[in-house]
Amino acid sequence: MNTSLTTAESTPLVSVIIPVYKVEDYLAECVDSVINQTYRNLEIILVDDGSPDGCGAMCDAYAAQDERVRVIHRPNGGLSAARNSGMDIATGEFITFLDSDDWMYRGRIEGYMQCFAKHPELDLVESCIYYSSSDKPCNVGEYVGDPQAEDRILSGAELMEQFSMELYPSSNPSACNKCYRTQLLQGHRFAEGCVYEDLEFNLRLYPHVKAYLFWPQCNYYYRVNRSGSITEYNDAAILSSVADCYENMQQIILDLEGQMAGGATMSGGISAVDHRLYVISQMTKHLIYPPCSDLRRSSLRRALIPILRPYVKFLRSRPYESRYRHMLLARNIMVFCYPLYMHVYVPLYLKYLDVKRKLGLDR
């Protein structure tokens, strides 16, 4: 995309919401990446979430230097509460999010606005993330897609099906690699007091999407496993937070079942029956492959069993569909006997994958 955005009509206001908490070493790189965007018509909302270090003063200094910066100081309430506070005061026609230990490519927002200008029906555009744990050279700003497949617009129903039913969907659960038309977000908020809030947010939001575009450019640098981050990956963090992932999805299913019992037939732009089925599929995928969990380690599998078994039991009597035979087999073994799945099926399946890899059959 190389269309220049120069006229006032083509430069709508974009609100960039950045929750800030204990990130003194990273905050300048983060905020500078927004201030230096090629797209200038920005409202930069820094939400100081009761940070006990110097982040609050740094936010105020940015506001004094750049009139586009607005600062909220609030008691600590977590990432979701901080994002919600930013959404409450955002005035832009579009909203995008950035975590304060990450940074964005300087042409990211201009690229998003070019997508929306080219396809006025869009209410959601998503691009790619570069993960700092990747063994590849940093390619932030690189176009990584197939030009032949460019501009394929999905309805909310198509997006929801792809997101939940595909093993490797193009849509990422993160909220930070997307730009939302603000009108789409009306009535939607991040669940507070839990982690995996992005997945919960998207599972409730996607049925309301009318038109979605995946733009395959790498625009976001995600700092993986930073010490002190809520996404720091270690056994204690995984075991203390993983239930949130399933609790969120279970609640969506229960809410949908309650609406269906009350006579509701639609959920956003899709049927309530399909919405429920898609969330069940997503929850099943996450139980078969628990997020951020190295299932090669028997000690972790053993520790996960008592935490995840209630959610497996919850899904046992509910419908499940998949176009993948190995997923159907895994699900059936899992609901029949979860310890058998963890201690027998998973090790055998991982050995099967290792053999395929050694024989070069995984390509």
Tell me if 154 is assigned to some domain: yes
268 & 131 share domain: no
Q: Are strands 103-104 and 212-222 parallel, antiparallel or unpaired?
A: antiparallel
Q: With helix as H, strand as E and coil as C, how does 127-168 read?
A: EEEEECCCCCCCCCCCECCCHHHCCCEECHHHHHHHHHHCCC
Q: What is the pLDDT of residue 148?
A: 67
Are 220 and 141 within 8 A, CB to CB? Answer: no
Kind and range of the H or E element at 76?
A: none
Q: Residue 28 in 3-state DSSP?
A: helix
Which of 173, 197, 222 corresponds to the end of one domain?
222
Strand-pairing partners, residue 5, are none
- Give CA–CA dist 174/199, Å, rounded: 7
Per-residue pLDDT of the chain (363 residues; tens, 9 = 90+): 544 444 445 799 999 999 999 999 999 999 999 999 999 999 999 999 999 999 999 999 999 999 999 999 999 999 999 999 999 999 999 999 999 999 999 999 999 999 999 999 999 999 999 998 777 766 888 988 877 667 899 999 999 999 999 999 999 999 999 999 999 999 999 999 888 899 999 999 999 999 999 999 999 999 986 455 545 457 887 888 889 999 999 999 999 999 999 999 999 999 999 999 999 999 999 999 998 889 999 999 999 999 999 999 999 999 999 999 999 999 999 999 999 999 999 999 999 999 988 998 875
Q: Residue 250 in 3-state DSSP?
A: helix
Contacts of 261 (CB under 8 A, 6+ apart): none
210 & 64 share domain: yes
Tell me if 161 is assigned to some domain: yes
280 & 318 share domain: yes
Tell me if 44 is assigned to some domain: yes
203 & 284 share domain: no
Q: What is the pLDDT of residue 80?
A: 97
196 & 248 share domain: no
208 & 242 share domain: no
| Token pair 């050995």 in the structure block, residue | 351
List the domain range (segments joined by +) for residue 268. Answer: 235-358
- Nearest CA among 179, 201, 177, 183 for reference residue 252: 201
215 & 260 share domain: no
Tell me if 96 is assigned to some domain: yes
Q: What is the pLDDT of residue 225?
A: 64
Tell me if 338 is assigned to some domain: yes
Which of 197, 222, 247 corresponds to the end of one domain?
222
- Give CA–CA dist 337/313, Å, rounded: 10
Q: What is the pLDDT of residue 144?
A: 85
116 & 173 share domain: yes
316 & 208 share domain: no
246 & 216 share domain: no
- Give CA–CA dist 175/188, Å, rounded: 13
How many domains is the chain built from?
2
Are 17 and 45 within 8 A, CB to CB? Answer: yes
201 & 348 share domain: no
- Give CA–CA dist 19/87, Å, rounded: 11
Compute how many other C-beta atoms are within 10 angstroms of the C-beta atom of residue 4: 9
Tell me if 1 is assigned to some domain: no
Tell me if 363 is assigned to some domain: no
251 & 181 share domain: no
Q: Give the domain CATH number at 54.
A: 3.90.550.10
Which of 222, 243, 270 corresponds to the end of one domain?
222
Instruction: Give the chain's radius of gyration (CA, Å).
Output: 21
Q: What is the pLDDT of residue 235?
A: 83
